[in-house]
Structure 1
Amino acid sequence: MAAAVSNAGALGSIGLGSVDAEGGRKAIRAVRAATAKPFNVNVFVHAPPPAPAASAARDAAWCAYLRPQFEKYGAAPPSTLKTVFGTFQTDADMLAMLLEEKPPVVSFHFGLPAPEAIAALKAYGAILFASATSLEEAKVCEAAGVDAIVAQGIEAGGHRGIFDPAAPDDQLPTASLVRLLSKSLSIPIIAAGGIMDGAGIAAALRLGASAAQLGTAFAVTTETAASAGHKAAILGEAGRHTRLVAAVSGRPARSAASNWTRMMDQMAKDGVEIAVYPNAYDLGKQLHAVASAKGDQGWGGFWAGQGAPLAREMGAAELVETLVKEMKEA
């Protein structure tokens, strides 16, 4: 899909947040084999989870809380959780791989890597993007030397890019955030969150953005890697009722309606503390697997933005062409 998007004249993107360095290398080379155009690779730069001993009690309590859900499918939850993937903040192998493969664009989510990593990436000519959910985060990114800010509004699907999930979140919508950042910063702003068609892109540009980033709109394209259950959630009634939920992975992420989102109110009443990120993902993936084996797809992380009802099934290149046509008309 990323190659098809780039070949059509937009900037395709692949996520490396859930793979190791060699997995990232294979993904980059697969894109390069299918396009000679620029593309983006995205890495997660979250704070490293606490040592296993420090998170063991919290993780165990989360496993115990979800035991009844596992038992519905004739299974038992694990007794301990694994850190299912690392963070670019400490992943020297991932940085070394990027410096060898030299992807044209690298984007950061959840925060920023060390200044040395930023300098090394810029030294080979990488264009750097960083997600920000507030003016304060955006100013940190600008000061660090990134080339553009991805202004992630509260409408956006997938993981909320807030640097510190324990800090207050103003939950600014895309329009307000884009306007605020475009008036306050000197680097380009890329609008992200709830944008599904060319009219939305045109509106973001009028507000001061230099570009728009669309995720959910491409999640149902012909080339998508999203599961059949994920696509059905976006295109169906579930896509009309998205919510931010931390239970799937341990960090807030906007999902179409699912078993996870339906449990949120009860979890709040019970005062349960979700396992740390990304350890919670280990349990979430295991629950999804055992439930899927019994025909229940409802425990998936069905990431979707609030514009999901506007999603359209077509090829990625056709969608790019349609977006450009709509943008010009708007």
Structure 2
Amino acid sequence: MSSILPRIGVRLPIVQAPMAGTSTPALAAAVTNAGALGSISVGAVEAAKAGEMVGALKALTDGPFNVNVFTHAPAKADPGRERAWTEALRPIFAAYDAEPPTTLREIYTSFNVDAAMLETLLAARPAVVSFHFGLPPAPIIHQLKAAGIVLLASATNLDEGRAVERAGVDAVVAQGWEAGGHRGVFDPAAPDAQLGAFALTRLLVRKLSIPVIAAGGIMNGAGIAAALDLGAQAAQLGTAFIASPESSADAYHRAALLGPGAAATEMTRLISGRLARSLPNRFTALKDALKGVAPPEYPIAYDAGKALAAAARAKGEGGFGAQWAGQGAPLARALPAAELIATLAAELAAARRAR
């Protein structure tokens, strides 16, 4: 099995997770310049904006970085279901002197059918492109590989990991149940074994022939060392970077991350229509009020979620945002990204010396 990070010129076995909503070119560049692999997510933006983000990142670093895209099945509109959802949310909107959207739209396009995004990536040629929520069609994978781009894909179980390997993707990210943000399952309607990061990592290491990157709940050097001991070639950390000044997390998200609620993250579909791990907030607290009302498909439900968050924020309430975080949230440190990478590297070295 070849080593994945040295192949692209990354010195440390640390990958910054490309969490949409918090990852920025400045954050990714700081991580890359510190010797790890920085990442940005373009899954929630159009191709033109993605090109700007990649350009901004290239202006800040000469090193390798990862660009993440969303490879979910395109959403199927259901006007009746969408209407029922906005009506269920109407009283909450009214509490902030607002009306829910009259119609909901698919707020961003799956990479699987986004020809403009593919052209943007082929032109930019980042060192790494990663997939979340599944795999794109084989011709897309072939074009990216032909451009010399190293490919990663998330998997939450062995079947998904095997699909990643069969597709010719270079390495698999073992996303454990602890991980913050959206659950990367290929089929959100299928049963989820909810495997933890370390059990999943060891399973994929034993059963696959491609490199494995562990993800979920890892916040410090001891966690990275444990992942490496299980056979992972690197650890991916996302929540660890949310409080960094280079992150785009707003003040409400940062306060929630560093507050007592960080010890009780929870899975919710309410915000986006797809299961994601969040800090407890005003939106997750609606689970009882909205019980029995199915949110629209992802990312159509996100249209309503974002509208509610904006309406509440206009009235000084920031608790309806997408405040994603993993189960390691209580271990978060508000450090500049480069300082955090240096700290993680020192902790990793100390953990190895202690053995």
TM-score normalised to the size of structure 2? 0.91
Equivalent in the alignment of 1:17: 43
Equivalent in the alignment of 2:188: 165
* Cα drift, residue 76 of structure 1: 1.2
Equivalent in the alignment of 2:154: 131
Asked if residue 294 in structure 1 is aligned to residue 312 in structure 2, the reply is: no
One-letter code aligned to 1:179: R
> What RMSD over aligned residues (CA atoms) do the two structures have, in Å?
0.8
* Cα drift, residue 267 of structure 1: 2.9
Equivalent in the alignment of 1:229: 252
Residue 219 (structure 2) aligned to one of 179, 190, 196:
196
Q: Distance in 2 between matches of 1:305 and 1:235?
A: 13
Residue 89 (structure 1) aligned to one of 109, 112, 130:
112
Equivalent in the alignment of 1:249: 272
One-letter code aligned to 2:350: E
SS in 2 for 1:238: helix
Q: Distance in 1 between matches of 2:70 and 2:231?
A: 26
Equivalent in the alignment of 2:179: 156
SS in 2 for 1:267: coil
CA contact (8 A) 1:43 1:88 kept: yes
Deviation above 6 Å: which 4+ runs of structure 1? none
Asked if residue 310 in structure 1 is aligned to residue 331 in structure 2, the reply is: yes
Q: Give identity over the alignment, percent.
A: 56
Q: Distance in 2 between matches of 1:47 and 1:307?
A: 29
What do residues 248-285 of structure 1 show as CA deviations (whole Å, max 9, x unaligned)? 011001000111221224433xx111111101111001
What do residues 174-229 of structure 1 show as CA deviations (whole Å, max 9, x unaligned)? 01000110000011100000000000000001111110000000011121111111
Equivalent in the alignment of 1:76: 99
Unaligned runs of 5+ in 2: 1-26
* Cα drift, residue 79 of structure 1: 1.8
Residue 72 (structure 2) aligned to one of 46, 49, 72:
46
SS in 2 for 1:66: helix
One-letter code aligned to 1:238: G
Equivalent in the alignment of 1:259: 282
TM-score normalised to the size of structure 1? 0.97
Equivalent in the alignment of 1:285: 306
SS in 1 for 2:172: strand
Unaligned runs of 5+ in 1: none
| Aligned length, in residue pairs | 325
What do residues 20-48 of structure 1 show as CA deviations (whole Å, max 9, x unaligned)? 11111000010000000000000000000
One-letter code aligned to 1:211: A
* Cα drift, residue 310 of structure 1: 0.1
One-letter code aligned to 1:31: L
Equivalent in the alignment of 1:107: 130
Asked if residue 213 in structure 1 is aligned to residue 236 in structure 2, the reply is: yes
CA contact (8 A) 1:199 1:326 kept: yes
Asked if residue 276 in structure 1 is aligned to residue 293 in structure 2, the reply is: no
SS in 2 for 1:259: coil
Equivalent in the alignment of 2:347: 326
CA contact (8 A) 2:106 2:300 kept: yes
SS in 2 for 1:258: coil
CA contact (8 A) 1:245 1:260 kept: no
Q: Distance in 1 between matches of 2:244 and 2:133?
A: 26
What do residues 114-161 of structure 1 show as CA deviations (whole Å, max 9, x unaligned)? 100000000011000000000000000000000000000000000000
What do residues 47-80 of structure 1 show as CA deviations (whole Å, max 9, x unaligned)? 0011x4xx11111110001001001111111121
